[in-house]
Structure 1
Amino acid sequence: MVLDTDTYNEIDDQFAVVYAMKSPNQLQVEAMYAAPFHNVLSEGPGDGMEKSYQELLKIASHLPEMSGLPIYRGSTAYLPGPETPVDSEAARDLVARAMASSEDDPLYVAAIGAITNVASAILMEPRIIGKIVVVWLGGHALHWPNTREFNMHQDLHASRIVLNSGVPLVLVPCKGVASHLQTTLSEVRDYVKDQGAIGQYLYETFEHCSPNHFGYSRVIWDISAIAFLINETWLPSDLVHSPLLSEDCRWSFDASRHFIRYVHYIHRDRVFQDLFRKLKESH
């Protein structure tokens, strides 16, 4: 697998990176890609990507398992149109790794940010559609009033490319599904903080995410994509027709479209138990 992540955007990406690297019996992580993002933490998508790249390097400095792992810069901009990729180290590496894979042994692409790098790779070399499986945390549940979710609405062109391309896709929605993955500072203090340098780093990151942790919980959204790859029974799913994405970020449906796998629930405790156990056992 490869991991495409907007690592600096929020605190959950760090947990996802660590979770993937602490799961060598289930996952062979071949590379990580920095994804673009734009919010109050960045001056634009390119700045967000660069900050995410630097954050991946910072995590690697605390995590011996990442020694020697290739980390690539991704797109510096969102797609300018529905047929125009944005060239980047990440997109080129994804094409190369995918083309070296096969339908019988595909490359899994865990995407936990804007899907720009993946969509660019598909546009650059459409043959990778038959050689990869994309597991994307994107949008909200299909019954939600809208799907104006950060990963999805940042780059509508890229989101539509992935939804429309026919690439094997596992869609993990945010609100209504991944929103089950809540934890608290108390839990992180008990099960993460004392697990080495990376545990301390994750704890401090969580602690600083809010000025007041009284009665406060936070969703660690991004570990959902990693958890699906580790044990898909923790994330029950169905085959559904790939939904259509409107300009105002709403779902619509057409029963003639191709199928995707849609996660409709997450067994929250199973996921966190696995993450906490692996942090403890590897320390």
Structure 2
Amino acid sequence: MTLIPDAAGREYDVRHWRLGSVPWQAIQPAPGPRARVIVDNDFAGDPDDLYHLVHQILSPNTEIRAVVGSRLRDGDVFDTSGRTAANAVLVARDVFARMGLDSTEVIHQGSNEALADRATPRPSAAVDAIVAEAMREDTDTPLFYLAGGGLTDLASAYLTEPRIAERLTVVWIGGLEHEGLADPPPNAMPIEYNLLIDVTAGQVVFNDSDLDVWQVPRDVYRQCLVSDAELRLRVAAAGPLGRYLYDELATVVRGVTEHRGTAPGESYALGDSPLVLLTALRSLFEAAPSSSRHTTIPTPSLQDDGTYLAVPGARPLRVYTWVDTRLMFEDFHLKLREFSRWSGASD
């Protein structure tokens, strides 16, 4: 349901800049990021990924090394085209253009197809970029893999080069609630939305790999609610970029309302935003996402139906149980306003 731009793209009347600079900040931050990130999201889907992308771009504490446009599940209502990863790249490029960001060389397309089995990767430009960044020998800056959708391209990268597991931390928005930690919501999808994109890929990451995973399961990403009033007054009012972000969500709300024949809700879950919170907004001393809460459990086995099977003694899995939405959203709103004032953007 995200607006898919034309392949030729559109030019916007904005000021231009490149990654690695922060011209919109009157008071410049301390030099050098504290972490590298690979952003992986299904940008042709739920527009919460657009909010995450903009927020991550505006967070100089993380250095964006790659942006992966990844797939939606086949027949997804957001994009039924069968070329959802290709469309995700078009959307990411359009966001860059709206921000005047000329660093489009970091955008890479993932696979349009899910894994066929747990042993065979899906080659793509994104997989090549993931492996190349993870295997770099010229930096010891920590690398985080930020997955806001399915895990197809990460799983393919691992199957291509298993040594990447020693070199990055995965932060994944997805998966069911864990027994004893939270209950599912009313009328919940049996297989959580992001896992359903590619269950086989999830099994590669959870069951077959030794990747270090921080999981933000469904009960936690559903905590990330913003009200329509907040969106109107703090996002839509922040220049053309803010209005674009607002209108993308409003389109979804109208579509759901018409389909269900019910009154629209006054809140929306920006469920991918914890990817910024847990990486760019870590504490200065003893760097960690210390304002949020997690527990550590043995990594369970993912079953074909999306449920977990306990595996005593398995490698540790960090499961977030609560995220600091105040810090996360206040930071986003202020950065968006600061950037919009500088950009001088106009339609």
Q: TM-score, normalised by structure 2?
A: 0.76
Q: Is the 8 A contact 1:185 1:206 kept in 2?
A: no
Which residue does 2:78 correspond to in 1? 41
Rg larger in 1 or in 2? 2
Aligned pairs for 1:1-283 within 5 A: 1-24=37-60, 26-38=61-73, 39-43=76-80, 46-65=82-101, 67-100=103-136, 104-143=140-179, 144=183, 148-164=191-207, 165-174=209-218, 176-211=219-254, 215-230=265-280, 231=282, 232-283=289-340
Distance 2:177 2:210 in 1: 20
1:256–1:9 CA distance, 2 compared to 1 (3 A) = same
Please list the CA deviations of residues 15-53 of structure 1 after superposition, one character each: whole Å capped at 9, or x if unmatched.
Answer: 0000100111x1111110011113023336x51111111
| Counterpart residue type for residue 272 of structure 1 | F
Distance 1:6 1:108 in 2: 18
**How many residues end up aligned between the 2 structures?**
280
1:29–1:103 CA distance, 2 compared to 1 (3 A) = closer
Question: Tell me, what secondary structure is at the counterpart of 2:63?
Answer: coil
Between stretches 110-119 and 144-153, larger displacement belongs to 144-153
**Larger helix share, 1 or 2:** 1
1:111–1:66 CA distance, 2 compared to 1 (3 A) = farther
The CA RMSD over aligned residues, in Å, is: 1.9
Distance 1:32 1:215 in 2: 31
Hey, which bits of structure 1, 4+ residues long, moved more than 3 A?
A: 65-69, 101-106, 144-147, 212-215
Distance 2:137 2:339 in 1: 30
Q: Is the 8 A contact 2:96 2:104 kept in 1?
A: no
Q: Gaps spanning 5+ residues in structure 2: where?
A: 1-36, 258-262, 283-288, 341-347
Between stretches 146-155 and 215-224, larger displacement belongs to 146-155
Q: TM-score, normalised by structure 1?
A: 0.92
Identity across matched positions, percent? 26
Q: Is the 8 A contact 1:242 1:257 kept in 2?
A: yes
